[in-house]
Amino acid sequence: MTPSSILRAAILGIALSASAGLPAAAASLQFQFGPGTDGFGFRRPLICIELTDRQIREAVKARGYRDVYLNVRNDRRIQVRASRGDWVYLLRVSTCTGAILDRDRLRPA
């Protein structure tokens, strides 16, 4: 190993060890003046890692639905047609969390 690569590794190690305690310190410094805003009144972007189609189907099935069909994906939401009991429902599901946002009863199954 060259001295420059050893120096780089040492600097990286120091930086990583210093940043290990940073989230705990940053959590105590958070403040907000309103919902969804930073300290200066600007809206923060929602960080969303969207679920895959399979994960969305599993999330809907976990809430008691069967025969799950995905319809339209739009703006971090997806329309889902699924059956529960004796009815077929049209659901609006969040692609970020898998939560059911809205439910319309369509017809008997």
**What's the whole-number mean pLDDT along residues 46-74?**
91
87 conformational bin, left if phi > 0, alpha if psi -120 to 50, beta if neither: beta
Q: Which has more confidence, 75 or 30?
A: 75
Domains of the chain: residue spans and CATH: 53-108 (3.10.450)
Question: Residue 59: which of 17, 91, 21 has the closest Cα?
Answer: 91
Tell me the average pLDDT across 85-109.
93
Residue 105 is predicted with a pLDDT of 95
With contact defined as beta carbons under 8 Å apart, do 64 and 71 qualify? no
The answer to pTM > 0.85 is: no
pLDDT for 75 equals 84
Cα distance between residue 56 and residue 72, in whole Å: 13
| Phi then psi dihedrals of residue 88, to 5 deg | -105, 135
Whether residue 1 is predicted with pLDDT greater than 80 in this model: the reply is: no
Neighbours of 100 (CB within 10 A): 17
